[in-house]
Amino acid sequence: MANINNVAKKARVSIATVSRVINNKKYVATKTREKVMSVIEKLDYKPLYSAINLATKRTGNIGFIVWGEHFSEIEKFYSQIFLGMEYSARDSDYYILLTTVKEKFNPKEDLPRFLKYKDVDGVALAGRVPTSLIEYLENQGIPFILIDYGIPDKVCNSVVMDNYNGAFQAVDQIVKSGKKNIGFIGGSYFHPSVKDRYRGYKDNLKSNGLGDSEYFDKFSFLKNVETSPEIGIQGVKHLLSQNIGLDAIFCCNDTTAMGALSELKKYNIKVPKEVSVVGFDDITLSSFCTPSLSTVRVPKLEIGKESYRLLTEIIANPDSTPQTSIIDVEYIQRRSS
């Protein structure tokens, strides 16, 4: 394995010059540069990461932390976001280290190794993460961004999708299709995404002259637990038992909608004729289930790429004021509505 000394010797220059060539620095004569390049090529020389990192005191790593339950969920939501970051990172100088944290998180014991050893230049936190973890990062001064999450009363660098408008548009489509009694099924309502989707749902109905607080009381099923098909099942059971002439359901996400669909089937209720169903996220399964699910597509890879951009920007410029990137979403019409 060739090193910088071999290259320098063979090119008859000093290692400083080789270093300048590698890093595309000024003050290298064109001829010298070409000479060095050709030797690098010939020897198949690649600089050693650990040596660079030691010398520059950057780690070249970015941490990606996601709550274990989220990563194991049916939907590949966060895995796709991770992949989006990975796509960006591989074209640059970073590795992305993925790890999960537990719900019951204790910064003393459960700290990801790359944090304990300060072996990352920055961290991306995907989805809901323990508050104590965020506090730890702030105290340690490690740059971080939140993806698809937010903390009340705290401004952080973050990347989110346009939950409010996505929901607003989706509900608008439902209304336009002639439905009047539109339910909402949602889990983990403390989650800002779910909150914003609920807000979009309500605001649209209000603007269409359909909803008031009594309406929302009747037509909302909210549970403060992690979203799952189970929530959808419970939601359908509840809404139907109310006898309120339910003719459509907007679910806080596709996973929940899957449960709702299966439960409606049990009651032999025709979708979308009797009750139409719309989800949010556009997970892979949504186009495969029957009937295929109308939903709001969230561009996961794009979120990942934007996250990478933002995080590296913050790493390079740690004292900039916090920014929030909002990623556009798109309503997808399928068979369930």
Partner DNA sequence: TTATTATATGTAAGCGGTTACATAACAAAG
Partner DNA sequence: CTTTGTTATGTAACCGCTTACATATAATAA
Contact residues for DNA (CB under 7 A)?
Answer: 1, 3-5, 12-17, 19-20, 22-23, 26-33, 45-48, 51-52, 54-57
Tell me how far, at minimum, the Cβ of 1 lies from DNA, in Å: 6
How many residues of this chain interact with a copy of itself, rule: CB under 8 A? Answer: 46
Tell me how far, at minimum, the Cβ of 62 lies from a copy of itself, in Å: 11
Tell me how far, at minimum, the Cβ of 51 lies from a copy of itself, in Å: 5
> 5 in helix, strand or coil?
helix
| DSSP H or E stretch at residue 182 | strand 182-187
Rg value, the chain, Cα: 25
Q: What, of a copy of itself, DNA, none, does residue 248 touch, CB below 5 to 8 Å by kind?
A: none
Q: In this complex, which beta carbon is closest to a copy of itself, that of residue 80 or of residue 188? A: 80
Q: Are 122 and 61 in contact (CB under 8 A)?
A: no
User: Helix 300-316 crosses helix 77-90 at what angle (to 10 degrees)?
Assistant: 50
Residues 97, 146, 159, 303: which binds a copy of itself (CB under 8 A)? 97
Give the CA dihedral 282, 283, 287, 291, nearest 10 degrees.
-80
Tell me how far apart the alpha carbons of residues 243 and 265 are, in angstroms, rounded to a whole number: 18
Tell me how far apart the alpha carbons of residues 232 and 220 are, in angstroms, rounded to a whole number: 12
CB neighbours (10 Å) of residue 101? 24
Tell me how far, at minimum, the Cβ of 315 lies from DNA, in Å: 15
* Candidates 19-27, 145-153, 202-210, 256-264; binding stretch for a copy of itself (CB under 8 A): 256-264
Tell me how far, at minimum, the Cβ of 143 lies from a copy of itself, in Å: 16
Q: In this complex, which beta carbon is closest to a copy of itself, that of residue 94 or of residue 149? A: 94
